[in-house]
Structure 1
Amino acid sequence: MTSPVRPCAGRARAACQDADPGLFFPIVWDDQAGQRAEQARSICRACPVQAICLDWALRTGEPDGMWGGTTPEERRRIRTRQAQATA
């Protein structure tokens, strides 16, 4: 049995607390979602826990949504680079 994933430690101080969840979890990351993604990134850039959020998403392998100002594809690339650097 696997242990449950603990929530992001900085969640209570996150700048996205009152933002539209659709900005951070669009149905698809298409051209129209690009505008929403930029809105989400602007919130992330001003967030006091952005680094904590991104670290959590990378450590847990979060496959969905905007976390720490990154899309799922961007996090996959970061994890690939990290794995290559430690190999």
Structure 2
Amino acid sequence: MSDVSRLPDAVAENWDWQRRGACRGMDAAVFFHVDNERGFARRHREASAKQVCASCPVRAECLQHAISTEETYGIWGGLGENALRRLIAAKRRSPGPIA
């Protein structure tokens, strides 16, 4: 079972930003890799996802959500998995706000 302890409460104000995301209604496969995806296919998919994020009105909220819930899978707020892991590690070392 997934650990949901880091997720915010189920209050509309906490999640309302997701309704305004540029990715809303898109296939999630654009933002999350399939097993064993590598090389050009992965780079191309990630670039496509980041292009959607580049013009998103809630990019900052998305990134903050990913950092606060320690989401390290997929593209969130225009950042890939390695960048997310670095920000989360920095957050763990420093209790102040990141991003």
TM-score with structure 1 setting the length: 0.80
Q: 1:62 matched to which residue of 2?
A: 71
Name the count of aligned residue pairs: 85
Amino acid corresponding to residue 42 of structure 2 in structure 1: A
Q: 1:22 matched to which residue of 2?
A: 29
Q: Distance in 2 between matches of 1:85 and 1:63?
A: 18
SS at match of 1:63: coil
Find the partner of 1:80 among 77, 85, 89.
89
Q: Does 1:36 align with 2:38?
A: no
Q: Report sequence identity in percent.
A: 29
Superposition RMSD on alpha carbons, in Å?
Answer: 2.3
The structure-2 alpha-carbon separation of the partners of 1:3 and 1:83, relative to structure 1 and needing over 3 Å to count, comes to: closer
Q: Which has the higher contact order (CA 8 A, sep 6+)?
A: 1
Q: Any gaps of 5 or more consecutive residues in structure 2?
A: none
SS at match of 1:17: coil
Q: Distance in 2 between matches of 1:5 and 1:51?
A: 17
How far residue 33 of structure 1 moved from its aligned partner, in angstroms, is 1.1
SS at match of 2:84: helix
Q: Does 1:46 align with 2:46?
A: no
